[in-house]
Chain A
Amino acid sequence: MNIAVCVKHAVDEGELRADTSGRPQLQGALSKMGSFDRNAVEEAIRLKESNGGSVTVVCLGGADSKKTLKEALAMGCDKALAVASARALDALATSYYLSRALKKAGPFDVVLLAEGASDTYHGLVGPMLARWLGLPFLGFARKVEVNGSKVRTEAALEDRAESYETVLPAVISVVSEVNTPRYPTLLQIMQAAKKPMEEVTVESLTDEGAPKFGVTVGDVVVQSVDRKKLVFEGPAEETSRKLIDALRKEGLL
């Protein structure tokens, strides 16, 4: 089975700080493989382990993307494909170039990705990619089962769970409870350096169908909601009375 998994090299949103003007300090900010992308990589490797085949990990982004690709190779992907883009692209353009790269590198039976990126979280690249590729999209899977030429997933939607079934090839997005991602061993990390990594540029994939417009991102400022941060400590009888008093004063009780 030929499996592709698309990942993003994302800003570490947990560590990101605002500068004195309230803007995110992106210069020198920590970055990593998107938190949810690790689950997509894990699922791709598990599919390979139970069905045979190989896994190609694909990442669109800047030069840093190779760190994420190497990590995915260490986890157990077989080859990597970097889609180099000098500038940040919106979901429509990202999904378009990923679809072109996958068409060139494929064909793939399964294309996996996370439900969304942990830094920007649009949740759009998956359904867009499926549409560009003309494939069925099985979104938000918490369980993936391949059976011969068919795939069945269980989707976790806001108010209900659904099961989807379709004939491969298909694009599948996974939610983080689908699995627990593995950590590569030191040996695997060393071996990953020897695995093949190819690179294509967004420019080389541009053709007449490429989106000619995009979402522009203007000012980004820190979301400042001033919280009171009043913390009560002590015996539970005392702290709970203080809390109830505070909530009464807020007019909430």
Chain B
Amino acid sequence: MDVLVFSENPHLAAELLSAGAGLAAASGGRAYSVEADSVRQGTHGNALLLRSEVPLLGDPALLAEAISAARKTKVAPVVLIGSTKTGRMVAGGLAVLDQLCVLSDVRDLRVDGGRLTGTRGVYAGKFNALVGGPLPSIALIPQGSYEPFSEPSGPVEEVRVTTGPPKVSREELRSSAKSSLDLRGAKVIVAAGRGLKAKEDLAIVQRLADALGGVIGASRPLSSDLGWLGEEYHIGLTGVYVHPDLYVAVGISGQIQHVAGIRDSKVIVAINRDKQAPIFQVSDYGVVGDLYEVVPALLRALGRP
């Protein structure tokens, strides 16, 4: 059984390839990394290069059409797609085109008796559900679920595909090149929330992150509503899911949508002035206090005043 994997995020694509190779190996098949327009640098394993008259990358609707067209020549009962916003759009389009089930945000993937199964969080991650669908199926997989595939690049098979014309004209407003941040791979994250009084105060959060050897993140109010930090810093149900060794929530109350994104952290620390804040219920260590006193005290204790 062959498996196709796709993610516009190269780190995630490498993880999907591991998941795909595992599923394919059990049945003597192969996993192919789907590349669009051109093969990315540092690609691992076998690649299936899709080329069309029009550029595919960046247009989820066209990517869906291209993968659908490729599946006519490369029979692949399982398609793994990275759980990103682009991934969801590609998976949704492909599911309708090819009449496929979609298991979203699943881990522990298995193929068993003609079915693809996995587990996923529901109700903002409070519960885990066992989900399954008949083959052929698509699974959307979050980053950090599998170790990246590390074998060198294999052969590239090129497939010419025909897609419709693009229906949406697109323009990048803020370049991804400017932001090398990848919270999903970070080992230490210090995240700021509404407890912060001003944008300038992000500096002390950044200093704590530096002292702990980590990066900063944010809850939704800061990255979206207030716009103090870019969208890529937004941790939570509708932002990125993180799984660091240490997660420090500074002035974050712990709304369920935020907590959904941090559940896989090894150790969670909360600093909040409100003892009743829900964040303390999901933390290993909590400090009740004004972050403007606690964070400087932590920096002093760490020898980084």
Contacts and interface: CB of A to CB of B under 8 A. Distances in A.
B287 A243 contact: yes
Residue from B101, B245, B282, B288 with most neighbouring chain A CB atoms (10 Å): B101
Nearest to A224: B128
A218 interface: yes
Given A92-B101, A176-B238, A246-B285, A119 B92 contact: no
Contacts of B297: 236-237, 239-240
Contact of B224 (A138, A175, A220, A223): A175
B224 A176 contact: yes
A241 B287 CA distance: 11
A183 B113 CA distance: 50
Contacts of B128: 220-223
B38 interface: no
A216 B131 contact: yes
A189 interface: no
Contacts of B173: 154, 160-163
Contact of B122 (A119, A233, A243): A119
Interface in B265-305: 267-269, 275, 280-290, 293-294, 296-298, 300-302
A214 interface: yes
Contact of A122 (B99, B104, B263, B289): B104
Interface residues of A, number: 83
Interface string A188-225: 00000000000000000000000101111111111101
B101 A214 contact: yes
B97 A131 contact: yes
A159 B132 CA distance: 30
B159 interface: no
A223 B121 contact: yes
Nearest to A119: B123
B181 A218 contact: no
Given A229-B283, A232-B285, A222 B127 contact: yes
A121 B237 CA distance: 8
Contact of A247 (B93, B172, B267): B267
A219 B170 contact: no
Contact of A213 (B86, B88, B101, B286): B101
A105 interface: no
Contact of B284 (A211, A218, A223, A227): A227
B102 interface: yes
B89 A175 contact: no
B85 A124 contact: no
Interface string A111-135: 0000110111111111110111001
A216 B124 contact: no
B41 interface: no
A233 B232 CA distance: 33
A74 B164 CA distance: 41
A13 B290 CA distance: 29
Contact of B288 (A157, A231, A252, A253): A231
Contacts of B296: 236
Given A240-B287, A246-B285, A162 B170 contact: yes
Interface in B212-239: 212, 220, 224-225, 231-232, 237-239
Contacts of B288: 231-233, 239
Nearest to A127: B92
B134 A213 contact: yes
B61 interface: yes
B169 A164 contact: yes
B132 A223 contact: no
A181 B169 CA distance: 29
Contacts of A24: 123, 126-127
Contact of A127 (B93, B133, B231, B284): B93
A132 B96 contact: yes
A165 to B, nearest CB: 5
Given A36-B238, A233-B275, A227 B169 contact: no
13 contacts: A36-B238, A135-B167, A157-B231, A159-B232, A162-B173, A175-B238, A214-B101, A218-B129, A227-B282, A228-B284, A229-B280, A230-B285, A253-B212
Interchain residue pairs A-B with the least CB separation, the first 6: A127-B92, A218-B130, A136-B167, A240-B297, A131-B96, A236-B297
Given A91-B104, A165-B170, 20 more contacts: A16-B127, A91-B95, A127-B88, A127-B90, A127-B91, A130-B61, A132-B96, A158-B85, A159-B181, A159-B231, A166-B168, A220-B130, A222-B127, A223-B125, A223-B127, A227-B284, A231-B280, A237-B297, A241-B301, A253-B302
